[in-house]
Chains A and B, each alone.
Chain A
Amino acid sequence: MRGFLGIDVGSVSTNLVVTDERGDIVNYIYIRTKGQPIVAVKDGMRQLALEISDDVELAGVGTTGSARYLSGVMVGADIVKNEITAHAVAASHVVPQVRTVLEIGGQDSKIILLRDGIVVDFAMNTVCAAGTGSFLDHQAARLGIPIEEFGDYALKSSASCQIAGRCSVFAESDMIHKQQMGYRMEDIIYGLCQALVRNYLNNLAKGKDLLAPIVFQGGVAANAGMKKAFEDALQAEVTIPKHYHVMGALGAALLARASVRDKATNFKGFEVADIDYQTRSFHCKGCENNCEIVKIQVAGKAIACWGGRCGKWDVQTPEEAESLLQGAGV
């Protein structure tokens, strides 16, 4: 059977998804990135090699997320796509009629509007990061509540408590203040969810038509309090897909499936889990821009570079990278 691999390396989690030809998920791996994308991808590949059924032959690989280029070079991706597009593709695959996608991950929040399966508008948080998963994670840890139970606390709230959510730092100090005043924990947590939803809608959704069906995905969709807060604010039902936490990887797999229709895959095989990758950075002296260039090496040989503003370092092959590096004397 032909399978397609999608890898989404984000700030908090690294996800790998294998789909069959129809685009249904047959395997998925969800691990923490812990700030080490190379280690996370290698671990993920190692786990996947153990779990994947022997009769699956990987015919295409796609990567997405903030480490999409890095992971793309490591595994030999057929397609490297930004996370906004990957999430949109996955959402419209799972819920074909979807018109609004709310996505909240570790670092980023996105809103994507689709009409007839085509993205017509999107926004991704730029000015403020409040409302992201890491913040909820941090609050759960601070209150000593396991993140998995955090949402259930919110559901037990009977009277919500107003939290100032413009900025995470102030949201936290407002929460502390309310705790010291004696508010119930459940009400504070639901108040926090509402503040994050308010912040999300004000930051990203201003002036946009949020039409149903609405899909809520990304790690934060696990939080039942956030789902309820969205439903309260939007006065509409919000659907959470079964694999809400690996939708980016699913999107990458679907894009990989489409991209290898008429060509063979570049996939390097599961051996990539055992290769030793090193990364080094240096300043390019080619012009006044002084760009910081990153190079990825295997056994002392460069396999890829990026980071320049002029396009000079956006090379296609390891040979090109090596000759450019020699030319620049680094």
Chain B
Amino acid sequence: MKITFPRMGKLDMVLSDLFNRSGIDYIVPPQTSAKTLQLGLRYSPEFACLPLKITIGNFIEALEQGADTLLMAGGVGPCRFGYYAEIQRCVLEDAGYKFDMIVLEPPAAGWKLFVDTLKLLAPGKSVYQIWRLVRVSFKKARMMDELEKYTLKYRCYELHQGDSTRAYKKALAIIDAAYSEAEIDAVCEEAFAVLEGVEKDMERDVLKMGIIGEFFILLEPFINFDVEEWLGNMGVSLDRSVYVTDWISPSTKNPIMGISDEEIAQAAKPYLNHFVGGEGLPSVGHSVIYGCEGFDGILHLFPFTCMPDTIAKSILPQVSRDFDIPSISFVIDEQTGRAGTLTRLEAFLDLLNSKKTHKRTGATAEFALSK
């Protein structure tokens, strides 16, 4: 068995770690690129959302490199993501590929199903052994997420453009090389020291922006046009509502944000009081939280035809009004252009900057924007 999986942010590092530890043979698909997208588009139904098209592309690239087993996450609720593994199976079989497919349904779909799938992944191991393996990889993943969170927040303060990104990659590599729980604990400080070592100007006047939306679009930089790095370079301190570990274990806690699902649901309640699938409810809840915390603006990203986040988008203007926090939504698919997106985002930053400057100094738009 040579297993492979779709790419999504740093998910490949988490899963490789787990497979190395459990002795499973695997192939990491090539980094998502224009070629991945082309392959995915060739076989996908047009009105499926971009995540399906990209992941089909990932699978094809991995299958062509010799993978024979596809690992895909399942899901529950009104978002069609839960059905994507089946669609992928059909699409790829129709395209003539031979493979097995393992669908990892979330515990919310039934614990027994979840455990049975884990056993399929690690034959001959007890549930306790599997749990221990997963625990170490998960710990590592959380560490990586913390590094990313730090980078998003502080990139805008760097003195030399590009330092934060380089430091982040270096810090990731340090954590990635650690094997046991003890080793992870030992290198944690070293990894953070690399990030803290980046020369910064903390006096710099920056904007604080929260990013919400559908997790795949948020976590995969190829699809979101590396918007986080771009915003960091434009002087924006970022806080993202979802990280890889939040997505892997969403049922109880949201450890990176430090906000539990109940708190998010509570925050969203005046606007949306029930689960609508995907990130619909969290998108609303997080935008309320960013509003309460006095962020300057909210960026909302989601795939074209995504039902849950379309619901969130229609609610967002009300949240914006109530909390006096401007928001902008981008609907992304393979037809979306980078230049157009960045032009609108640039105008949005101008809006935030002039609002902030006007509040403080009463300056007119023209002078506030002439920086």
Contact = CB atoms under 8 A, between A and B. Distances in A.
Contacts of B369: 81, 85, 89, 255, 258
B87 interface: no
Given A85-B347, A118-B355, A120-B326, A79 B365 contact: no
Contacts of A122: 347-348, 351
A82 B340 CA distance: 10
Interface in A158-210: 207-208
B351 A82 contact: no
Interface residues of A, number: 38
Given A120-B326, A124-B344, A310-B226, A89 B366 contact: yes
B226 A309 contact: yes
A311 B233 contact: yes
A247 interface: no
Given A120-B326, A255-B369, A258-B366, A289 B161 contact: no
A119 B351 contact: yes
A255 B370 contact: yes
A32 to B, nearest CB: 22
Interface stretch (B27-35, B65-73, B192-200): B27-35
B97 interface: no
Given A82-B343, A288-B33, A309 B225 contact: yes
Interface string B343-371: 11011101100110010000011111111
A92 interface: yes
B317 interface: yes
Contacts of B31: 288
A5 B233 CA distance: 28
A289 B370 CA distance: 33
Contact of B346 (A82, A89, A207): A82
A312 B230 CA distance: 11
Interface in B22-72: 30-31, 33-34
B222 interface: yes
A118 B358 contact: yes
A118 B355 CA distance: 7
Contacts of B34: 290
B11 interface: no
B162 interface: yes
A301 B370 CA distance: 30
Given A127-B331, A258-B366, A311-B162, A118 B354 contact: yes
A114 to B, nearest CB: 8
The listed residue with most B CB atoms (<10 A of its CB), out of A82, A85, A116, A289, is A85
B229 interface: yes
A117 B355 CA distance: 10
A4 B55 CA distance: 51
A298 to B, nearest CB: 24
Contacts of A66: 339, 343
Contacts of B226: 309-310
Which bucket holds chain B's interface residue count? Answer: 35 or more
B34 to A, nearest CB: 7
Nearest to A124: B344
Contacts of B354: 118-119
The listed residue with most A CB atoms (<10 A of its CB), out of B314, B351, B368, B369, is B369
A124 to B, nearest CB: 6
B366 A311 contact: no
B351 A120 contact: yes
A254 B366 contact: yes
Contacts of A116: 358
A257 to B, nearest CB: 8
Contacts of A246: none
Contact of A88 (B229, B317, B348, B365): B365
A83 B233 contact: no
Contacts of A255: 366, 369-370
Contact of B350 (A82, A208, A289, A311): A82
Given A93-B366, A311-B162, A289 B331 contact: no
Contacts of B30: 288
Contacts of A312: 162
Contact of A290 (B33, B331, B355, B366): B33
Nearest to A85: B350
Contacts of A208: 317
A289 B33 contact: yes
B350 A119 contact: yes
A82 B364 contact: no
Nearest to A308: B226
The listed residue with most A CB atoms (<10 A of its CB), out of B326, B347, B371, is B347
Interface in A64-87: 66, 79, 81-85
Contacts of A326: none
A258 B346 contact: no
Contacts of B370: 79, 255, 258-259, 261
16 contacts: A82-B347, A84-B343, A84-B344, A92-B364, A114-B365, A117-B365, A118-B368, A120-B355, A121-B351, A126-B340, A127-B331, A258-B369, A259-B370, A309-B338, A310-B226, A311-B161
* Nearest 3 A/B pairs, CB to CB: A258-B370, A84-B347, A259-B370
Given A82-B346, A89-B366, A119-B355, 14 more contacts: A82-B344, A85-B346, A85-B350, A93-B366, A117-B358, A118-B358, A120-B355, A121-B351, A122-B351, A257-B366, A288-B31, A289-B222, A309-B225, A309-B226
